[in-house]
Amino acid sequence: MRILVFNAGSSSLKFGVFDGDLQILKGSFDRFGNDGCDQSLAVGNAAPERVRATHSDIGTAIAAVPGLLAEKAVAGLQAVGHRLAHGGTEFTGPALIDDAVLARIEALTPLAPLHNPAMIRALQLARDLWPDLPQVAVFDTSFHLSNPARATTYAVPSAWRAVGLRRFGFHGTSHRYVAQRAAEALGRPLVELRIISMHLGNGASACAVQYGASIDSSMGMTPLEGLVMGTRSGDIDPGAFGFLHRELGLDIPAIEAALYGESGLKALAGSADMRDVEAQAADGNTEAQLAITLYAYRARKYLGAYAAAMGGVDAIVFTGGIGENSASMRRRICDGLQFMGLMLDEDLNRSPDLSDRAAPRIHAQNSRVAVMVTETAEQLMIARDVEALLGRRTVTALAIPISVSGRHVHLSQQSVEALFGPGYRLTEGAPLRQPGNWVAEERVTLQGPKGCLHHVAILGPLRPRTQIEVSRTDSFALGIDAPVRNSGQLDNTPPVRLIGPHGHEDSTGLIIAARHVHTNPTDAAVMGLVDGDMVAIAVKSDDGRGLTFGGTLIRVAPGALTEMHLDTDEANAAGIDRRADGTLAANVHATPLP
């Protein structure tokens, strides 16, 4: 599928044309002024042609794109994809644009007042220029909607949270690509890896990607939070607003404008370009030296925090203009992390080859943590998302029965014998809806540091590794912080004591099961889904409450019955007592995990 991709900023516009993963044209407009703008255009792998064009703003630049495509004989467009900074909590994946969806995106402008307006304007202009082509929005925030509440919630009054004050995270398209590319280069499934993606450029953010899902990002409600950036401050005490108002008489718009445009490297060293800052520091400029050490310290602090949050790290990947090009900054960030088993190879770090979307390793042979560098490819990811969305026929009318899963355990034979005695065989009881699954007659007790859960059901058949599934409320009753995981993702999970009539066993494998839908290939095709999709499911209960559950994993297997599994906390939140049905939420779709 031939797809035109736009990435519009407040003062620049990047665009590209993709045919599958092949980029056949790459262009950009920036440095807009009364006399025009800088235009760059390259076909295939040819060197870019750079001229000073007459376009004075993004609108006139977009209007010039059809002519540039015709000039380079690029025809046959089938769709247009757009990068949108903020999709709120509603857009869990790419969305096909119509008037209703566009209105929903515009309503999110207060969450991204400096980013979304330019992107929305580009989308509107593209709809006018290519009215017969489907237009698809891909959101920076979607990848981070898998972040748990402990990572997204600010400890502020409930009225503030009710109007949308929460952490979102950005650069999601970049972090998603980087994590996938790192897994490919390592030759391991993404769902087995703990990756920290360091997107370091004029905008900068760190992201913890645990087993294929983002669990935390350094940016918050806006792209201001987190790392030091070119012109943005990164983390700052919110008390600064009151202080600056009292001491300097500054109002909120003036403070916000300074934090976005006059802070970061620009404020510390007089330039937002790390290349200039590094040159000044080498000449003895102490302000530039401070800027570099502060930039590296903040990045290293987040890196260490995310390693702790994930219980370890398998790979650290640098990307973005600084991450890709500054060997000294990569070294500064990694120095001091030897306690994690991270060691750089000085020669590999100095000159990594990033051609052809390579992801070279720059760590020493005895490093326990892989360290890699790769160019980000946000436009490629947008093109892939557009093709994935348009390449399937989504039917939302199919009802998905809801099954509420109470606390239960899946035991291994070793655990059965530890709890019930050598050679013991569980007594198969009532069958479950999923073929071949059943509830055993026996029960166990779960014991944690705070309390016990008695008469916990055992589900069969036996598994190679014991897995214990509880709700969030159950985890507090036990006094154990159980992570939200997909079934089978049991590495680095906390232990809990299982007690049976014969004895007890301290077993890892305690999780809060991520919500998911079991389905079969036939029903999946009707809904336009494939195994590994992450989608939103709208659920309505008998009392009319209901919820839309984003971040729902699709699990396709032959013979499976179509049903969605929620835990008791989720069912209570949606007002589900006995039976309810869900449907695939319209126009909201995410791409599958690798």
Q: Are residues 536 and 421 in the same domain?
A: no
The answer as to whether 144 is a domain residue is: no
Residue where a domain stops, chosen among 451, 481, 513: 513
Reported as a pLDDT band with limits 50, 70 and 90, residue 415 is very high
The answer as to whether 594 is a domain residue is: no
Q: Are residues 538 and 528 in the same domain?
A: yes
Reported as a pLDDT band with limits 50, 70 and 90, residue 588 is very low
Residue 380 assigned ligand-binding role: no
Residue 116 assigned ligand-binding role: no
pLDDT tens, residue by residue, 255-290: 999 999 999 999 999 999 999 999 999 999 999 999
Question: Helices (DSSP H) in 131-221: which residue ranges?
Answer: 149-152, 158-162, 172-186
Secondary structure letter of residue 149 according to DSSP? H
Q: Report pLDDT for 542.
A: 64
Task: Lowest mean pLDDT of 108-112, 261-265, 447-451, 477-481, name the range.
Answer: 108-112
CB burial readout 307-336, b (16+ within 10 A) else e? bebbeebbbbbbbbbbbbbbbebbebbbee
Residue 199 assigned ligand-binding role: yes
Secondary structure letter of residue 18 according to DSSP? E
Residue 592 has pLDDT above 70, yes or no: no
The answer as to whether 146 is a domain residue is: no
**Domain count along the chain:** 4
Residue where a domain stops, chosen among 467, 498, 513: 513
Residue 325 assigned ligand-binding role: yes
Residue 527 has pLDDT above 90, yes or no: no
Q: Contact at 8 Å (CB) between 83 and 119?
A: yes
Secondary structure letter of residue 295 according to DSSP? H
Q: Report pLDDT for 304.
A: 97
Residue 330 assigned ligand-binding role: no
- For the packed helices 274-282 and 286-309, what is the interaxial angle rounded to 10 degrees? 120
Burial of 472 (0-12, 13-18, 19+ CB in 10 A): middle
Give the Cβ contact number of residue 21 at 10 Å.
11
Q: What is the percent of the chain with per-residue pLDDT over 90, rounded to a whole number?
A: 78
The answer as to whether 157 is a domain residue is: no
The answer as to whether 93 is a domain residue is: yes
* Segment holding 99, helix H or strand E: helix 99-106
Secondary structure letter of residue 48 according to DSSP? P
The first and second tokens of residue 301, run together, are 């602090």
- Higher pLDDT residue, 454 or 582? 454
Reported as a pLDDT band with limits 50, 70 and 90, residue 589 is very low
Residue 590 has pLDDT above 50, yes or no: no
The answer as to whether 390 is a domain residue is: no
Taken in order 59, 61, 63, 69, the sign of the CA dihedral is negative
Residue 539 has pLDDT above 90, yes or no: no
Task: Lowest mean pLDDT of 243-257, 366-380, 569-583, name the range.
Answer: 569-583
Phi/psi for 469 (5° steps) reads -115, 125
The answer as to whether 38 is a domain residue is: yes
Q: Contact at 8 Å (CB) between 534 and 593?
A: yes
Q: Are residues 200 and 98 in the same domain?
A: no
The answer for residues whose C-beta is within 8 angstroms of residue 514's C-beta and 6 or more apart is 484, 485, 486, 551, 553
Q: Are residues 204 and 278 in the same domain?
A: yes
Q: Are residues 471 and 548 in the same domain?
A: no
> What is the chain's mean pLDDT, rounded?
92
- Which residues of 238-322 form beta strands (DSSP E)? 315-319
Q: Give me the CATH number covering residue 559.
A: 2.40.40
Please name the residue that has the structure tokens 């949108």: 84
Q: Are residues 13 and 134 in the same domain?
A: yes
Residue 321 assigned ligand-binding role: yes
Residue 451 assigned ligand-binding role: no
Residue 93 assigned ligand-binding role: no
Provide the pairing of β-strand 496-499 with 504-507: antiparallel
Q: Are residues 286 and 300 in the same domain?
A: yes
Q: Are residues 570 and 474 in the same domain?
A: no
Residue 435 has pLDDT above 80, yes or no: yes
Known active-site residue 140: yes
- Which residues of 20-157 form beta strands (DSSP E)? 22-33, 36-43, 49-53, 79-84, 95-96, 135-139
Residue 234 assigned ligand-binding role: no
Task: Lowest mean pLDDT of 161-175, 454-468, 579-593, name the range.
Answer: 579-593
Residue where a domain stops, chosen among 333, 367, 382: 382
CA distance 584 to 586: 6
What residues does 516 pair with on adjacent strands?
553, 565
Q: Are residues 465 and 336 in the same domain?
A: no
Q: Are residues 441 and 530 in the same domain?
A: no
The first and second tokens of residue 195, run together, are 């990756």
The answer for residues whose C-beta is within 8 angstroms of residue 582's C-beta and 6 or more apart is 399, 400, 402, 537, 538, 539, 540, 549, 564
Reported as a pLDDT band with limits 50, 70 and 90, residue 393 is low
Q: Report pLDDT for 199.
A: 97
Q: Which of 21, 57, 99, 140 is catalytic?
A: 140
Q: Is 13 left (phi over 0), alpha (psi -120 to 50) or beta?
A: beta
Q: Give me the CATH number covering residue 8.
A: 3.30.420.40
Mean pLDDT of 14-28: 95
Residue 141 has pLDDT above 60, yes or no: yes
pLDDT tens, residue by residue, 194-222: 999 999 998 999 999 999 999 999 999 99
Q: Report pLDDT for 10.
A: 67
Residue 378 assigned ligand-binding role: yes
Q: Are residues 497 and 519 in the same domain?
A: no
pTM above 0.85, yes or no: yes
Residue 202 assigned ligand-binding role: yes
Reported as a pLDDT band with limits 50, 70 and 90, residue 507 is very high
Question: Helices (DSSP H) in 336-412: which residue ranges?
Answer: 346-350, 378-390
Range of the structural domain that residue 433 is part of: 405-513
Q: Are residues 556 and 468 in the same domain?
A: no
The answer as to whether 580 is a domain residue is: yes
CA distance 212 to 384: 17
Residue 429 assigned ligand-binding role: no
